[in-house]
Amino acid sequence: MNGLKTAMLLAALTALFMALGFMFGGPAGAMIALVVAAGMNLFTYWNADKLVLSMHHAREVDAASEPELYGVVAELARRAAMPMPRVYIVDSPGPNAFATGRNPENAAVAATTGLLSMLSREELAGVMAHELGHVRNRDTLIMTMVATIAGAISMIANFGLFFGHGGNNRPNPLVAILAVVMAPLAAMIVQMAISRTREYGADRAGAEISGNPRALASALAKIAGPAQHIPSEAAQANPAAAQLYIVPTHISELFSTHPATEKRIAALMEMGGTAAAPPVRRSALDPNRR
């Protein structure tokens, strides 16, 4: 069901992209938009991991340089019967993690230094199992493609307003302005819907791979508050990067690419056979901290 929902939402994004092309360029514009979307997705397919890792200035580690993190990932990959991904560390105080790569054979997982300093080994295993869940479900490719198309929709909406097809085919200025405002908003809503669906799926997969859903729930409770309030340089430079992380890097639930952390924790605790969820820890910068 999740796969069908994702396919339908991806189709909706592509249709929106083509509709904007048609609005500003007629039938030829729609075809150009389709070709551009296909080209961007092809480029993303081969280069997403390099772009994401470079954006975060991630450094690759091995069993000698980072034995605990590498050992945890190796054990989880063995348990999941998956190829061993490349392992990276991002020098950032914000506690977070992400996965990237076009398929399980060409995947990479990364953790920040802030995450490593905050979690126990069991909690770290829960987080990295979640990232391997993304890899196994091929979410890494899907979410990068979604971010690429959503960004292109914003670009073509703004470009078309000023450089749309001339003559009688040029859209009414009021309609064009409405498209510039509504198309990126619609793309963002679709992007959030896809991302939230994939996060729940990765939580379930991570719980299965690690065999300890409560450890993942505990990790989410620990890192959710600090991650929201410690800036991520990569996400600030490119907001699309935020959807890759295990927890969101901003506060607003309405516009978050992730489900509410409390809901994710509750679902994991149910998997673990208890309804007693650990409270989400608030950052010292959070005015609602208790």
**Of 131, 208, 233, 270, which residue is the catalytic one?**
131
Task: Between 282 and 172, name the one with better pLDDT.
Answer: 172
Beta strands in the chain (DSSP E): 59-61, 86-90, 97-101, 107-112
Closest by CA position to 203, among listed 132, 101, 277: 132
**How confident is the model over 117-176, as pLDDT tens digits?**
999 999 999 999 999 999 999 887 777 677 667 767 767 766 665 555 444 555 556 666
**Does this model's pTM top 0.75?**
yes
CA 59/CA 86 separation, integer angstroms: 10
Burial class (CB in 10 A: 0-12, 13-18, 19+), 167: exposed
| Angle ∠(204,207,211) on CA atoms, nearest 5 | 150
**How confident is the model over 79-124, as pLDDT tens digits?**
999 999 999 999 999 999 999 998 899 999 999 999 999 999 999 9
User: Does the active-site annotation cover 122?
Assistant: no
> Would you kindly state where each structural domain of the chain is located, as residue ranges?
2-271
Q: What is the mean pLDDT of residues 228-243?
A: 77
Q: Which residues contact 108 (CB under 8 A, 6 or more apart)?
A: 49, 53, 58, 85, 86, 87, 88, 99, 100, 101
pLDDT of amino acid 270? 92
CB 133 within 8 A of CB 97: no
Closest by CA position to 130, among listed 204, 52, 39, 68: 204
Number of other CB atoms surrounding residue 2 within 10 Å: 14
Burial class (CB in 10 A: 0-12, 13-18, 19+), 170: middle
**How confident is the model over 14-60, as pLDDT tens digits?**
777 778 777 777 788 778 877 877 787 778 778 878 988 998 999 99
Q: What is the mean pLDDT of residues 214-234?
A: 91
Number of other CB atoms surrounding residue 278 within 10 Å: 15
Tokens representing residue 163 in the block: 């450089």
Handedness of CA 24, 6, 258, 108 (dihedral sign): negative
CA 9/CA 187 separation, integer angstroms: 10
CA 112/CA 96 separation, integer angstroms: 6
DSSP SS3 for 165: coil
